[in-house]
Amino acid sequence: MLVILYGLSLLQRPPVYIETVAVSAVLVLLFGTGCVRLIPTLMSMLTGAEPHMKREGDRTFRRCGTRELMKLFLIVLAVRLLEFPLTYVVRYALFGFTGTFFEVQRIWLDFYHPETAFPLYGYLSNIFWIITVNFNHARFIGSYLFTALSVVALYYLVQLDFDRRVARRTIRYFLLMPYALTLMGTVPDGLFLLFSVLTLLFLRKNKFPLANLFAFLAVLTHALGVLLFFPIIASYVSYLYGNTRNNRAVDKGYIARQILNTLSMLLIPIGIGLVMLYSRFYFGDGMWLYQFALGGTGSDSVTLFKWLDAGFSLLRTVGGNSTAIYFGTHLAQLVYILFALLMLLFAGKTIPSSFTLLMAVTIPAIALTGHVSDAARVITMTAPFVITFAARVKNRLVDAIITLILLASWIAYFFAFIAGFTGGGL
């Protein structure tokens, strides 16, 4: 079916360059292979058994305490603060004196667009106006704190299924992945990451009302929140099947809990409805926000073929900074897409099946909804990709090499971002 759909797409919207056909064919084949490998994983999930998820390491299996999480929170805040002086130094080295220290930091503050932003990020971040008496600065503080909290939640989530070495490796890889630096900007990504990680966290604990509540908040934060419905419903089916197979006693308390679990599944549709009402009230069109958040519609939508053609056209341009812009935009996004597809191939027996399902639905959402030019940002906000990456690394030498490569990539992207070779980066 995938090959047929790809062939029809070639006939309906033929690409300009042969390179586009070759690259897109490789991407489609990788995705198809990942879907095939996903089938037995989903089958094991729907039968209520995931034998591959046996926790490793941590001799004492001690719980993750508040002190441990607070220490991580403060470390992340300190690390993120280092980006301020680094921003000024790099800006000065590239362009000379262009403003004071605080004026240069506006590079992180100019990316909030109320006409395309979902409502919750703006409302929550504006709370910090009490401290800053400036909405732009308030949104920055919000992004700063939301990102640190999301990293803490990610650490707690990973250590539920793996040992602390994997949890620490996950955080290190995440912070060193180039596009993670864009979470410093006034964008809802950090808040969405926090809500999506908390959704997955409570799914692992089979606390479905809480999982649906945070998914509801994610829907109010970003268009990708609707994708959380897939791992939630699959996890709930697996949970019910497991109870039936184990002949769990059905009493009044059990029935009441299942009624509550089922009703909580309505929270995501309610969230979608609230976003549409908000869009209708402020913009006169209930679908306005979704159209812009998903990359536009019709001729404005950035499809896979159109995006690849634009990249190869840019690469053929002689003169100016076109080559640097190509590496900072199209090639960087393409590397992230390949990374996501490779992680999908290896995720089946590495992470919980519900996480793998979220990865599988996120990839076509990137390719089919005009999000191709924003692929790196979307993949950064989808935690299972980096969890799979960290969990697959077992050797310390390999871990050290990967860390050095990520650090070099982060530095290179940071320079490209300050120099303006990343299309704004956000």
Please tell me the distance from the alpha carbon of residue 99 to that of residue 118, in angstroms, as a whole number: 32
Q: What is the 3-state composition of the chain as percent helix, strand, coil, each rounded to the nearest 5?
A: 75, 0, 25
Query: At residue 317, does pLDDT exceed 70?
Result: yes
User: Does 353 map to a domain?
Assistant: yes
User: Does 409 map to a domain?
Assistant: yes
User: Does 261 map to a domain?
Assistant: yes
pLDDT tens profile 116-170: 788 999 889 889 888 888 888 888 888 889 999 999 999 999 998 888 899 999 9
User: Does 182 map to a domain?
Assistant: yes
Number of residues in the chain: 426
Q: What is the pLDDT of residue 270?
A: 96
User: Does 108 map to a domain?
Assistant: yes
Please tell me the distance from the alpha carbon of residue 201 to that of residue 218, in angstroms, as a whole number: 14
Q: What is the pLDDT of residue 216?
A: 97
User: Does 425 map to a domain?
Assistant: no
User: Does 424 map to a domain?
Assistant: no
Residue 297 lies in domain: 2-419
User: Does 385 map to a domain?
Assistant: yes
Please tell me the distance from the alpha carbon of residue 399 to that of residue 395, in angstroms, as a whole number: 6
Q: What is the pLDDT of residue 309?
A: 83
- pTM (whole model) above 0.85: yes
Please tell me the distance from the alpha carbon of residue 77 to that of residue 200, in angstroms, as a whole number: 23
Query: At residue 294, does pLDDT exceed 70?
Result: no
Domain count, the chain: 1
Using the Cα atoms of residue 90, residue 93, residue 94 and residue 99 in order, give the sign of their dihedral. positive
In the structure encoding, which two tokens stand for residue 243, read together?
A: 């109870």
CB 160 within 8 A of CB 201: yes
Name residues whose C-beta falls within 8 Å of residue 209's C-beta, 6 or more positions apart in sequence: 260, 261, 264
Q: What is the pLDDT of residue 319?
A: 59
Q: What is the pLDDT of residue 4?
A: 85
Under DSSP, is residue 346 helix (H, G, I), strand (E, B) or coil? helix
CB 121 within 8 A of CB 221: yes
